[in-house]
Amino acid sequence: MPTIRSSLNDMPPERLISLLGESSLLLDESVSFIQCDPVSGQFGKSHQLFTLHIQYAEASTQTRPNRLFLKLGKSSKEFFFYNTIARSMTTPPLLRCYYAAYDPGLDQTRLLFEDLSETHFQTEWPLPPSAHLCSQTVQELAKIHALWWQDPRLESEFRSVIPQGRAWVDRRRLAREKLPEFMDFLGDRLAPARRKVYEHLLASPAHLWEKENNAPQQTLLHGDMHFWNVFYPLDPDGSLYLFDWNMWDAGCPSDDLAYMMAVHWYPERRQWLEGELLKVYHRHLVNCGVTNYPWKDLQHDYRASVIRSLLIPAWQWVHGIDAGVWWSHLERVFLAFEDWKCDDLI
């Protein structure tokens, strides 16, 4: 058993050993020492992140990592993603996952990833990456969407493993139910014109802006697709990697795109890049073999996704997410709603 040291008072060696479970990579006899440190000392409500520094007892001709990335997350969704979905993907833009386990008693997923800190970077939130990196991100997203386009597993074995209430259709339903309370909470901080949009949304039939589950545009969604869930290469010719798949789902592809741009970008940057990035996305979707999705359909679906995104701030408020997050989302998505003239879809 290797010597294990932790810089955390609440992470004693014996707990770390239990978290690592049966990870053969770390409990191999050649591993002599493991140091566990928090990533930037930050701990979210849904996950904890650690860097593991590894030493080996003797030299080896095998290439073995000296640093690993440990993620402890709530729910089984990300475990299922790496244990099942990721294994079905060819050359995916994903971090290499050495070990994945799920403890149903604690509702906790344990994931052990390669560490890319020496070759990749993440932009500091809320600063966006360069236009070039945004384009690369959209291209990789298109590849993933194309790979899972209309795959029957999305509505059978994959959909069935999503815990109750953790599918986006359930979250939107909850947000819609709580929307009157959200508007009451905001009071006069919600402009009258925007209040009318929400009231119209509540009064309109959901099928006017909600995609049916069996729509031909169904694909695998990241579910939390913003530009800070991406590792960008320091080498201009390197590959980027999409991270944090805890909210993956099956749905309309433009939902990922609207969350990425309409929810997270203020008008100046969105108006500059949004239209071109949608074209880049569609072009790569077609290049990857998707032939049943005309450009006009993507434009229509994107507008519908902007409407659905109006519910995101309400859902975040219901779940106690910091107002510093959802208040900005509320402002940006309403501005996108106005720019895209989405009111005629509801």
Same domain for 9 and 55, yes or no, is yes
Q: What is the pLDDT along the chain (346 residues), one digit of tens a residue?
A: 567 666 555 555 556 656 555 565 665 667 777 788 887 644 455 678 888 888 877 765 566 778 888 888 888 999 999 999 999 887 779 998 988 889 888 888 889 898 998 999 999 888 999 999 999 999 999 999 999 999 999 988 898 888 888 899 899 999 999 999 999 999 999 999 999 999 999 998 877 677 654 456 799 999 999 999 999 999 999 999 999 999 999 999 999 999 999 999 999 999 999 999 999 999 999 999 999 999 999 999 999 999 999 999 999 999 999 999 999 999 999 999 999 999 988 8
State whether residue 143 is helix, strand or coil.
Answer: helix
On whether both 69 and 218 belong to a single domain, the answer is no
Residues 134, 233 within the same domain:
yes
Neighbours of 254 (CB within 10 A): 26
What crossing angle do the helices spanning 323-339 and 267-287 adopt, rounded to 10°? 70
Shared domain for 127 and 96, answered yes or no, is no
CATH of residue 338's domain is: 3.90.1200.10
Phi, psi of 249 (to 5 degrees): -160, 180
Q: At which of 64, 87, 114 does a domain end?
A: 114
HSE, CB side, 13 Å, CA atoms: give it for residue 79.
18
Whether residue 161 is found in the same domain as residue 68: no
Number of domains in the chain: 2
At 3, is the secondary structure helix, strand, or coil?
A: strand
Closest to 63 in 3D by CA, of 114, 11, 132, 100: 114
Handedness of CA 143, 147, 149, 155 (dihedral sign): negative
Q: Tell the burial category of 14 from Cβ atoms under 10 Å away from its Cβ (0-12, 13-18, 19+).
A: exposed
Q: 60 and 208: one domain?
A: no
Q: Are residues 327 and 196 in the same domain?
A: yes
Q: Tally Cβ neighbours within 10 Å of residue 294.
A: 11
Shared domain check, 142 and 105: no
Return the closest-CA partner of residue 227 out of 194, 193, 263. 263
* 108/126 same-domain check: no
Same structural domain, 149 and 248: yes
How far is Cα of residue 99 from the mean position of the Cα atoms in its chain?
20
For the whole model, what pTM was predicted?
0.90
Give the CATH number for residue 46: 3.30.200
Tell me the two tokens of residue 282. 């569609």
**End-of-domain residue from the set 114, 135, 170:** 114
Looking at residue 261, its amino acid is M
Q: Are residues 96 and 144 in the same domain?
A: no
Look up the domain containing 78 and give its range: 3-114
Query: Are 314 and 177 a contacting pair, CB within 8 Å?
Result: no
* Encoded tokens for 241: 């990697």
Domain boundary among 114, 142, 168: 114
One domain for residues 222 and 280: yes
Could you write out the DSSP letters of every residue in 72-104?
A: EEESSHHHHIIIIIGGG-SS-SB--EEEEEEET
